[in-house]
Amino acid sequence: MDRSSTGALEAEVPHLTIYYRRYADWLRARLRIRFGADVADDLVQEAYLRLAPYQLEQIRSPKSLLLRIASNLALDGLAREGVRRRYQQTARPAVEALDSPHETLLLKQILQAMPEKDRDVFLLSRFEGLTHAQIASRLGIAVKTVEWRMARALKHCDVHLRR
């Protein structure tokens, strides 16, 4: 949080300025060690914004509170990134990943037996990696319709794979 960023909050939350001047450099240094310099500044800013609603007399250990807030923010960000990465890995299965011609043939049969509208949504999601919103935009339908069609397509796949 640079000096201009804190200006708007200074009038409303005077303890924020006091704590920023006292602890920002310390907090930034700790966060750089734990999470890297590229995210430390953003974490410091967000931590101070999260500290704003607190009353001065409520804060017994400002350094601990700031470090806990910033650490939680960083861990939340890492968790979200992990989920995003896992989704991207599963959302784009490569046809080359199929182990045998039998699996390729089975996939083709399942897709051919699937209703066309459901198949279109399934292919755009799983093979082109589009989000539901992107699919809705491309097909000119509502996101909720994409969700319904995707659910039917997945159920179709499940039923055929259990045979």
Beta strands in 9-148 (DSSP E): none
How confident is residue 8, by pLDDT bands cut at 50, 70 and 90? low
The answer on pLDDT for 6 being more than 50 is: no
How many angstroms from the chain centroid is the CA of residue 6? 27
The answer on pLDDT for 9 being more than 70 is: no
What's the residue count for the chain?
163
Contacts of 23 (CB under 8 A, 6+ apart): 62, 63, 66
For the chain, the distance separating the N- and C-terminal CA atoms, rounded to the nearest angstrom, is 59
Type of residue numbered 104: T
The mean predicted confidence, pLDDT, of the chain is 82
- Rounded to two decimals, the pTM is 0.48
Are 146 and 135 in contact by the 8 Å Cβ rule? The answer is yes
Q: DSSP assignment, residue 97?
A: G
- Please tell me the distance from the alpha carbon of residue 39 to that of residue 41, in angstroms, as a whole number: 6
% of the chain exceeding 70 in pLDDT: 83
Q: What confidence score (pLDDT) does residue 81 get? A: 79
pLDDT digits (tens, 9 = 90+) for 41-76: 999 999 988 888 887 777 888 899 999 999 898 888
The answer on pLDDT for 27 being more than 90 is: yes
Are 70 and 27 in contact by the 8 Å Cβ rule? The answer is yes
